[in-house]
Amino acid sequence: MKKLFMTLVAAVIAVSASAQVYIGGNAGIASTKIGDQDSKTTYKVLPEIGYKINQDWAIGTVIGWGKGDPVTIEDADKCVGTFEVAPYVRYTAVRTKMVDFFIDGGFSYKHYNDRANEWTVGLKPGVALNLNKTVSIVAHAGFVGYKTIKATYDGAKSSNAWGVDLDGNNLSLGVLLNF
């Protein structure tokens, strides 16, 4: 067991020394109150891990969970637990000293407990503000692609959409630590 542990530690140190692994993610919390009803709290935690193949290409995934994701404020009482997996390939198109512009291409699966399953495939444009060699603030703004969601009850029909969603309501902000 000690040999296995030491081998894993050595592998992590070797990969980290070449500055190719990054970890981070984003999180959010909100409280919604409608009229005289009780407040409803929603949250999500989306850790991210990735590997830089070279200066322009990286692969990674986001695996997270939460409670909530109401469609509108009026739907806050329908909030349920969620689980999400979103692997991606990242291409950095423009690189400057402090700012990188990139596009993530991939798919995601999101499960709404006892309610629905959602699949997406497409592109997410983003920007990274590199504070130093170790810390980057990353933002994604929008989505271009396909999305389908289907309720889990028998006989449910799926809802499908193709499109572009580049508004400010589809913004995520996170922090990455580069090793």
pLDDT digits (tens, 9 = 90+) for 80-94: 788 999 999 999 999
- Cβ atoms of 100 and 92 within 8 Å: the answer is yes
Q: Which of 11-15, 19-23, 110-114, 157-161 shows the lowest mean pLDDT across its residues?
A: 11-15
- Cβ atoms of 137 and 128 within 8 Å: the answer is yes
Task: Please compute the mean of the pLDDT values over residues 67-89 and round it to a whole number.
Answer: 72
Please, what's the b/e burial string for 45-76 (b: 16 or more CB within 10 A of its CB; e: otherwise)?
A: ebebebebeeeeebebebebebebbbeeeeeb
Per cent of the chain over pLDDT 90 is 49
pLDDT of residue 74: 47
pLDDT of residue 5: 56
Residue boundaries of the structural domains of the chain: 19-178
CA–CA distance, 45 with 67 (Å, rounded to integer): 9
Q: Does the structure show a pLDDT above 90 at 166?
A: no
What does the pLDDT look like over 102-115, one tens digit per residue?
Answer: 999 999 999 988 88
Q: Topology of domain 19-178, per CATH?
A: Porin (2.40.160)
pLDDT of residue 73: 46
Q: Does the structure show a pLDDT above 60 at 172?
A: yes
- Cβ atoms of 117 and 88 within 8 Å: the answer is no
pLDDT confidence band for 33 (50 / 70 / 90) = confident
Report the first-to-last Cα separation within the chain, whole angstroms.
26
Q: Does the structure show a pLDDT above 50 at 146?
A: yes
CA–CA distance, 75 with 123 (Å, rounded to integer): 28
Q: Which of 7-11, 96-100, 113-117, 175-179 shows the lowest mean pLDDT across its residues?
A: 7-11
Q: What is the DSSP string of the chain?
A: -HHHHHHHHHHHHHHHHTT-EEEEEEEEEEEE--TTSPPEEEEEEEEEEEEESSSSEEEEEEEEEEEE--SSGGGGGG-EEEEEEEEEEEEEEEE-SSEEEEEEEEEEEEEETTTEEEEEEEEEEEEEEESSSSEEEEEEE-EEEEEEEEESSTTPPEEEEEEEE-STTSEEEEEEEE-
Q: Does the structure show a pLDDT above 80 at 7?
A: no
pLDDT confidence band for 32 (50 / 70 / 90) = confident
